[in-house]
Structure 1
Amino acid sequence: MTSKTVFVIFIFGLIVGNNPKIKTVLSNNEGSTTILSRKGSSRATAYIDSNKIIETKAHIFITYLVFENGKHHIAIKSFSKENKTWSTEVILDKVKDNHGGGSLAIDSQGYLHIAYGPHVGPFVYRKSINPNDIELFSEPIHVGENMTYPSLAIDNNDKIYLLGRHTILKGKWSLRLFCKEEEDKNWSIGKDILYSNYENWPIINDIQTGDPKYLYIKNGYSRWNKSIAIDKLNNLHITFKNYEYLPRNEKYSFTNNGNGGSYLIGYLKSEDGGITWKNKDKLITTPAYPSEIEIIEGNSDPKKVECNYGISNLILDKYNTPHVAFSKEFDSTSNFYLAYKKGDIWERKLINHAKTNRSFMYSPSSISYFDNHFYIVATAINKSNYDRQELWGKEQRHSFIQIFKLNSRYKIVEVFNSQDLMVSNPSWLPSLGRGNEYPPKLLFTQGDSKSNRTVVHYTDLN
C-alpha cells in the first residue's frame, strides 16, 4: 500500500468494510499499528537521546523496555522482510530502572551494537555475535561511570561513539563522549565536551549559611536530550537542549514548579572525531559552557528567555545539512518548529496545519529523512487540556502523537495522528528510525505515564 493511500484512509475516513486494502492495514485490534509488547515500561520507548530502530535490506531491529516481575528489562525484536514476520522477543538484560533503555547502531559488516542500562552508573555495551542477528550478544562491557542516556553512533570506518550525561554530586554535570575503534577491546576514558551552567550560580557555601535568597535546588542537575549524527565525511554533529534547576530567588516565566527549565537549543560540530569542537568556524575550548556554543534558539542567559524548550533527535539530509525539531512551551500555548542550518544561519519553519488547529505540539518529538522528504512526529495535546506542567513525566494523561510529512521545500504534504491509527490517549515517547536509506518507521508508547503496563506500538509511515 502506498503512503498516499494510507493517508487518504486516515484523513477522509473511508469505510473499512468496503475496502479490502484497508482490511490489510487494520490487521490487528489496534488499528494500523503493530503491537510489539503489552508489558511496556513507563518509559518503554524513551528517551529521544537513543536510536531505537535499525533497518537493513533484509531486517528491521527494534529495542524497547518491558516491565515484568517487578523489574525493568531491555528487549529486542527483529522483523524479517522476506518472511514478513516478527521474531520472538529477546530479553537482553535487566536494567536499573525506567531510564535504562538502549541505543542501537549497526556497523558496515552488519553487526549490531547496543548501549543501555544505567541511571547514574556505567553504560553497558554489547555487540551481536553474528551479523543481522539478535539471538546472541557479547558479554557486557562497562563504559564510564555515573552515566545516563546513551547516544550511540558508528562512522564510515566503523569507529564507535557513545555520548551520555555524566553526573557529579554537587558539581557541574557534563556531556561526556567515549569512542572505540572497531578492532580495539577497550573504550576511551571519556571526554567532557559540554558543562552545565552550575558554576555560574551562587556557591554551595552560600546555601549552607541559610541565606533564604539562595534557597534552590543545588546539585548540578542537567538534562540535555542530546543526540549525535555522523555525516558522510565522518564529521560529528550534536544537538541538545539545556535544562537546569535555577535559583529559586529568581523569577522566570518558563520554569516548572521546582524552578527547573530548558532555556536554549544548542549545536556542536567536530571535524576530527571529537578531538576538537566548533562554534560555526571557530574552535572552542572544551568542555564548553552554554555561552560558548552555537545556539539554535533561546539564550545562554536564562533571564532573557520566556519559554521552556523541548527538542527532537538530530538528522542529516542528503546534503549533510543538520535538522532538528523543537518546541517553545509557554504557560498557555506551545509552538513547534523545524530548524535547519543554512550556511552559518539556523533557519526555522513553524510546523502547523489546518488539521492541527485544535491542538498544541511539543516535545519529546522525533524526526527522520527519506527520499527528499522529512517526517516529523510531535507529542500533542488538545488546547482545552493544555497544561505546561503536564507536558512531561508523571502527569502525562492527555497526549497523543501528531505526524507530519514535509517535502524538500519544507511544505507539509500529509498529516495524521495516533488517534487516526485508532490508538487511544495517552500516546507519547515517539522514536523514528534515523537512517536515510529506508522509509521511516515509528515506535511509541501508549499508556499512563505512572503505569508499567504500557503498550509498545510500531508503525510503518510509508
Structure 2
Amino acid sequence: MIKRIRISFVLLLLIACSCQAQRLENAPITETLVGEGWANNSINTVIFRRNSLDSDGKHQFVAYYDPEGFVVLGKRELSSGAWELNKTGYRGNVNDAHNSISIALDGEGYLHVSWDHHDNELRYAKSKAPYSLELGEKESMTGLGESKVTYPEFHRLPDGNLIFMYRSGSSGRGNLLINKYDTKSKVWSQIHTNLIDGEDQRSAYWQSYIDQLGNIHLSWVWRESWDVSTNHDMAYAVSKDQGLTWEKSTGEKYSLPITESSAEYAWKIPQNSSLINQTGMTADSEGNPYIVTYWAESDVPQLQVIFLKAGKWSKVSPNHRTQTFSLGGGGTKRIPISRPQVLVDDLSGIYIIYRDEERDSKVSMVYQNKSDWTVRDLTGQSVGQWEPTYDISLWKSTKSLHLFVQKVEQIDGEGIAEGKSSPIQVVEINHN
C-alpha cells in the first residue's frame, strides 16, 4: 500500500509538472480592449517602458498616449475585462518615440508616473490617493541631476519601495542615475549619481530586473556614439542591498562607478554586429540572470539568450531567422524584428517574446521544446512596429503573461506617419 501511494504521488507530480510546462505553449489567449491610442510612431510600445502595465495581485494599471498626445491612465480589477480610464491634463511630445510613459504602483497602492523624456527636465507625478487615476502636480524627486532625463524606469522592490533609473546626459555621453522611494516617509533619495560611467566617451544602454529575492540585476551594452552600429559587449552587475553596493557574478565588489575597463562581461560582442540595445532581462527562482538580445554572428541577426548557471555564463539561440539586415544610424529605427523580452519558468524553460516581419509582424513567442525551439503566434494580425512590454509584477506572482499590444507605425529615424490611431489591448495568457 505504501509503495502504491508513493507511485501515485510521483505520477501526480509528473502530471502537474507536465501541465504547468505546457501552460504558455497551449493555454488559451484572450484579448481585452483598453482604449484608442496614438499610433503615428511606436512611442506607446517601445520596449524600454518600465512599466506599461503594473499590478498588485488585485488591481492592474495601464498608461498610454491618446490620439491627441494626452497621458491616459486606466485601471481594472484583474478579474474583470472592464477598464476605467482617466484622460489626464498632461501631454507629451509624441512626435519623438523616445518620450514614452513609465508607471509603477508602490507598496501602498500609489501610482507613480514619469513621461515625455528625451534629454529634458524630469516629468514626474503620483496619484493623489492609493489606486486613484487622479494625478497630483508635477514634482521633483530629489532635485539632483533632473535637467537632462532619458529612459525613466520604475522597479518595485519586494518591500514595496521603488527604484527609479534614468540616463542623465545625451547619447554616447550619458550616465546612469538611481533614485529610491521610501513608502513610509514618501520621500525620494538619490543613491547613485553615476553608477556606470562612460568616461565622456561612451554610454551604457541597460536593462534591469529585480528578482523575487530582491536582487537588482543590471546588464548593458556600451555605445561609442549616437550610431547604433557602435554597440558592443554585454556587461553585468548585481546589487543585493537594494542598489547601494554592486558586485560581479563572482561576488567581487565593484569600485564605483563602473567603467568599460572594470566591468564584468557576460558576453563579448564586437562593434558592427547589429547588436541591439535596451532589450529584456529576467531571473529564475534561484536568482540566476537571463539576458535576451539579438546580434549577427554571421549574416543573419539571431535572437540570443545569455544566462548564468552554476557560476558560468552561457548562451542559447533559437537560430531560426533567415532574413538579413544591418543595424546602423541614429534615432528610433524601423527594424524588421523587435527588441525581445525573455521569460523563464523553472519547470518549462525559456520563452522569448518578439515581433518579426518573417512571421508577418505578429506577436510571437519562441520557446524551448526539449532540445528544439518552437514558435507560437499570439496574435492573428500584424502589430506593425510594436515591441513587447508586459506586466512584470503579475508574471512574478502568478506566471500569467499580460502583454501591452497596439499596432503602430514607425518611420526610420524619428519619422512620423499621419492620421494613425489604433486600439490598445492587453493580450493575456493566464495561469489557471
Partners of 1:168 and 1:233 in 2: CA distance:
33
Partners of 2:238 and 2:178 in 1: CA distance:
13
Q: Deviations over 1:83-111 (max 9, x none)?
A: 43122353362124432322222233333
Q: CA deviation at 1:331?
A: 8.2
Partners of 2:279 and 2:312 in 1: CA distance:
19
Q: CA deviation at 1:178?
A: 1.5
Kept after mapping to 2: 8 A contact 1:312/1:363? no
Counterparts of 1:402-421 in structure 2 under 5 Å? 402-406=364-368, 412=373, 415-417=375-377, 421=379
- For structure 2, the 5+ residue unaligned runs are 1-19, 326-335, 411-415
Q: CA deviation at 1:153?
A: 1.3
Residue in 2 that maps onto 1:458: 426
1:444 to 381, 402, 405: 405
| Structure 1 residues 270 and 8, CA gap change in structure 2 (3 angstroms) | closer
Kept after mapping to 1: 8 A contact 2:277/2:293? yes
Q: CA deviation at 1:417?
A: 2.6
Residue in 2 that maps onto 1:174: 175
Q: Which amino acid in 2 is paired with 1:415?
A: V
Deviates more, 1:356-365 or 1:265-274: 356-365
Residue in 1 that maps onto 2:286: 319
Q: Which amino acid in 1 is paired with 2:358?
A: N
Kept after mapping to 2: 8 A contact 1:105/1:154? yes
Give the alignment's TM-score, normalised by structure 2. Answer: 0.76
Residue in 1 that maps onto 2:58: 58
- For structure 1, the 5+ residue unaligned runs are 10-20, 26-31, 200-219, 247-257, 384-397
Counterparts of 1:60-99 in structure 2 under 5 Å? 60-68=60-68, 72-91=69-88, 93-97=90-94, 98-99=97-98
Residue in 2 that maps onto 1:165: 167
Q: CA deviation at 1:315?
A: 1.7
Give the alignment's TM-score, normalised by structure 1. Answer: 0.71
Q: CA deviation at 1:349?
A: 1.5
Q: CA deviation at 1:147?
A: 0.9
Q: CA deviation at 1:166?
A: 1.0
Kept after mapping to 1: 8 A contact 2:153/2:166? yes
Residue in 1 that maps onto 2:315: 348
Q: Deviations over 1:140-175 (max 9, x none)?
A: 222422111112112233332111111059x83211
Partners of 2:380 and 2:66 in 1: CA distance:
22
Are 2:151 and 1:139 aligned? no
Are 2:355 and 1:379 aligned? yes
Counterparts of 1:120-159 in structure 2 under 5 Å? 120-131=119-130, 133-143=131-141, 144-159=146-161
Partners of 2:49 and 2:261 in 1: CA distance:
22
Q: CA deviation at 1:428?
A: 1.9
Are 2:275 and 1:308 aligned? yes
| Structure 1 residues 38 and 104, CA gap change in structure 2 (3 angstroms) | closer
Kept after mapping to 2: 8 A contact 1:40/1:65? no
SS in 2 for 1:193: coil
Residue in 2 that maps onto 1:429: 387
Residue in 1 that maps onto 2:302: 335
| Structure 1 residues 260 and 142, CA gap change in structure 2 (3 angstroms) | farther
Deviates more, 1:228-237 or 1:267-276: 228-237
Are 2:252 and 1:282 aligned? yes
Q: Which amino acid in 2 is paired with 1:140?
A: K
Q: CA deviation at 1:429?
A: 1.6
Kept after mapping to 2: 8 A contact 1:324/1:340? yes
**Matched pairs, number:** 381
Cα-Cα RMSD: 3.5
Residue in 1 that maps onto 2:219: 239
| Structure 1 residues 168 and 186, CA gap change in structure 2 (3 angstroms) | farther
Kept after mapping to 2: 8 A contact 1:423/1:446? no
Q: CA deviation at 1:400?
A: 4.2
Q: Which amino acid in 1 is paired with 2:214?
A: N
Q: Deviations over 1:269-310 (max 9, x none)?
A: 1223322221232222222212321222235xx56x644244
Q: CA deviation at 1:185?
A: 4.7
What percent identity do the matched residue pairs reach? 18
Q: Which amino acid in 1 is paired with 2:342?
A: I
Say which structure is richer in strand: 1
Kept after mapping to 2: 8 A contact 1:327/1:336? yes
Q: CA deviation at 1:320?
A: 1.9
SS in 2 for 1:382: helix
| Structure 1 residues 165 and 278, CA gap change in structure 2 (3 angstroms) | same
Q: Which amino acid in 1 is paired with 2:176?
A: L
Partners of 1:292 and 1:142 in 2: CA distance:
33
| Structure 1 residues 460 and 168, CA gap change in structure 2 (3 angstroms) | closer
Partners of 1:282 and 1:405 in 2: CA distance:
33
Q: Which amino acid in 1 is paired with 2:397?
A: E
Q: CA deviation at 1:182?
A: 2.1
Partners of 1:368 and 1:62 in 2: CA distance:
21
Residue in 1 that maps onto 2:328: none
SS in 2 for 1:114: strand
Kept after mapping to 2: 8 A contact 1:148/1:164? yes
Q: Which amino acid in 2 is paired with 1:446?
A: K
Residue in 2 that maps onto 1:296: 266
Counterparts of 1:354-373 in structure 2 under 5 Å? 362-369=337-344, 372-373=347-348
Greater relative contact order (Cα < 8 A, sep 6+) = 2
SS in 2 for 1:123: coil
Q: CA deviation at 1:57?
A: 3.0
Partners of 1:404 and 1:366 in 2: CA distance:
11
Residue in 2 that maps onto 1:273: 242
Partners of 1:404 and 1:292 in 2: CA distance:
34
| Structure 1 residues 50 and 186, CA gap change in structure 2 (3 angstroms) | same
Partners of 2:220 and 2:49 in 1: CA distance:
9
